[in-house]
Amino acid sequence: MVTAVSFGGPRVGNAAFRRRLEESGGKVLRVVNSNDIVTKVPGFPVDDCGAAREDAPAKRKPRVPRWLVSKMGWEYSDVGRELRLCCQDTARNVVASHDLDLYLKLVAACTD
């Protein structure tokens, strides 16, 4: 059961936030457009203790060394599941890539 859905939101939370969310039973679905820059900030993904999560997809994004990320203040931890969609029509338009109507159309196209 999903308890929160995020459309086009920035990355949030650190490892402690993720643990508390998982312990509470919270389920998050993060809907992102691959061309939306807002969904790529802040910072870089870092795994806790370098270990892969059980529910992590086989192909992961490159990870940055924890010491560097922590020192620079770029740390966040993946929270919930991600539904990554793409609209090539908005590849060069930052504003259009972040439009909620576009997100809803992309999700609707997945369910047809």
pLDDT for res 7: 94
Structural element, H or E, at residue 78: none
Which tens digit of pLDDT belongs to each residue from 12-32?
A: 877 788 888 889 998 899 999
pLDDT given at position 47: 54
Residue 95 has pLDDT above 60, yes or no: yes
Average pLDDT, the chain: 78
Please say if the pLDDT value at position 103 is more than 90.
Answer: yes
pLDDT tens string 30-65:
999 988 988 887 766 555 544 444 555 545 555 667
C-alpha to C-alpha distance for 41 and 54, rounded to whole angstroms: 24
Query: From the CB of residue 39, how many other CB atoms can be counted at a distance below 10 Å?
Result: 21
